Amino acid sequence: MFEALTDRFQGIIRNLTGAGRLTPDNIRESLRDVRRALLEADVPVAVAKEFVARVEERAVGDEVLKNLKPGQQVVGIVHEELVKMLGNSPVTLAGSQHLPTVVLLAGLQGSGKTTFAGKLAKWLKARGKRTLLVSADVYRPAAIDQLERVASQADAGFWRASEGTDPRDIAAGALEQARQRGFDFLVLDTAGRLQIDEVLMTELKDLKRIVRAHVVYLVVDGMIGQESVRVGQTFAEQVGVDGVILTKMDGDARGGAALSLRQVTGKPILFLGVGEKLDGLEVFDAERVAGRILGMGDVVGLVEKAQQAVTADEAVAMADRLKKSDFTLDDFLSQIRSVKKMGPLEDLIKMMPGVPKDALAQLGPGKDVFKKHEAILLSMTPKERRLPRVLDGSRRKRIAAGSGTAVSDVNRLLKDYEQAKMMMKALKQGPRGLAGLRGRMR
């Protein structure tokens, strides 16, 4: 997501911050590169032009040029304007006082509405809300069956009308079902078309009126580039939408849709869909997305992933074990599994501020090290994990054979374990221990 744009922006930032002295001319030259980067990312010309004009107006002022670190100041301005373009404060889905809160999903065929419906239901369940999923798509073969499977995976409610029921009657029935069964949310998945037409728009307007939708979300395939702008404008004008959902963002290295839709529709982006799994949903936060685009990392996102991977009870249990005993290989295995839950290692590194892009290339085969470490640890006996000192040469050979790895891999794991153990011991000792750890690592 945003990979190509991030690459270009990081180059521009290096030029700006590395320049000995900034003048209006070399600032404008850098901003021409910014404009080209935006156009290459599929941002419409008018949007890119307006963005650069706003940055230039602020960047060539005396306040910047006379600053001791003008390059950093310009980067700060670019970041602020990106945040404005993307929508400033994050917007979330708020429930209505009158249950159920009705969410109508609109969009072209293949935009990912059905998968998003399941992701939203799972997201709401994690917040203690019960959701009923209903499909009013009677045109696409097996569309209703697909939503039923998704509802089952998301542990959400599902209802279907009898075969041959008109979409408008399905909508009315869905609202009645949600009320009777006490659901907090009703998510109505609608039919799409390969292209925008009058029949689609009329049906959507009817469905919106019948269910008295509290919010209408336009679901847009993030990979369709500038076409997303036309789609967004048309749906906003003809149906009226309250927010935008961008799906398949893990497959879009450019990200122009995210930079354009908020600007042209005037509607906030609420979620980014990444991957097919139902937990692949990110709340859209302009500040964090702008930081990612400029290669500044996403520390908040990293913390959120850590909180999802390790429950409070698990963290307390680990702390208690560390107070009572040494850090064992069983604890090391638990740590590895927690990090694996957070996602691919390369994605985590991208979220760390200040880590250069070539750090990912340097990972090489090491990207699979956690998988290999886990296999080795599971090939050990409980006693060996509890008492690593018993791991002599013959045991290491047996463990390597059992895990399909080499003895050198077992040795590397034990070295990584010793480093982790040293860090845990330092954390137990507080500031004095951490100071000693820094001394050893120099």
Please tell me which residue, 327 or 425, carries the higher pLDDT value: 327
On the CB side of 233, how many CA atoms lie within 13 Å of its CA?
Answer: 9
Please tell me which residue, 348 or 128, carries the higher pLDDT value: 128
d(CA 434, CA 425): 9
**Average per-residue pLDDT for the chain:** 81
Which pLDDT band, with edges at 50, 70 and 90, does 442 fall under? Answer: very low
| Interval 190-199 mean pLDDT | 86
d(CA 102, CA 213): 5
Please tell me which residue, 397 or 28, carries the higher pLDDT value: 397
Asked if the model's pLDDT at residue 436 lies above 50, the reply is: no
d(CA 367, CA 345): 6
What is residue 223's predicted lDDT score, i.e. its pLDDT?
80
Single pTM value for the model: 0.68
Beta bridge partners of 157: 132
d(CA 266, CA 87): 9
Q: How far is CA 198 from the centre of its chain?
A: 34
| Cis-peptide into 100, omega within 30 deg | yes
For residue 131, the tally of other CB atoms under 10 A from its CB is 27
Token digits of residue 214 = 């509290």
| Interval 176-198 mean pLDDT | 92
| Interval 227-250 mean pLDDT | 87
Q: Are 103 and 178 in contact (CB under 8 A)?
A: no
Q: pLDDT digit string (tens) for 80-114?
A: 888 888 887 777 888 888 889 999 999 998 899 99
The DSSP H or E segment spanning 231 is helix 227-238
| Most confident by average pLDDT, 32-41, 217-226, 363-372, 405-414 | 405-414
What is residue 153's predicted lDDT score, i.e. its pLDDT?
95
For the chain, list the domains and their CATH numbers: 3-86 (1.20.120.140), 101-296 (3.40.50.300), 302-441 (1.10.260.30)
Asked if the model's pLDDT at residue 375 lies above 60, the reply is: yes
Burial zone of 441 (CB within 10 Å; 0-12 exposed, 13-18 middle, 19+ buried): exposed
Q: pLDDT digit string (tens) for 124-163?
A: 999 999 999 999 999 988 999 999 999 999 999 999 999 8
Write down the number of H helices and E strands in the chain: 22, 8
Asked if the model's pLDDT at residue 397 lies above 90, the reply is: yes
Q: Which residue has the tokens 């045991």?
A: 395
d(CA 319, CA 197): 60
On the CB side of 284, how many CA atoms lie within 13 Å of its CA?
Answer: 27
Q: Is 110 left (phi over 0), alpha (psi -120 to 50) or beta?
A: left
d(CA 405, CA 371): 11
Asked if the model's pLDDT at residue 378 lies above 50, the reply is: yes
Q: Are 216 and 208 in contact (CB under 8 A)?
A: yes
Q: Which residues contact 141 (CB under 8 A, 6 or more apart)?
A: none
Q: What is the DSSP letter of 139?
A: S
Q: pLDDT digit string (tens) for 268-309?
A: 899 988 878 898 888 888 888 888 777 665 444 544 555 555
Asked if the model's pLDDT at residue 196 lies above 90, the reply is: no
Percent of the chain with pLDDT over 90: 33
| Interval 235-242 mean pLDDT | 90
Q: pLDDT digit string (tens) for 299-346?
A: 445 445 555 555 556 655 655 655 555 778 888 888 788 777 766 555
The DSSP H or E segment spanning 382 is helix 382-386
| Interval 205-227 mean pLDDT | 90
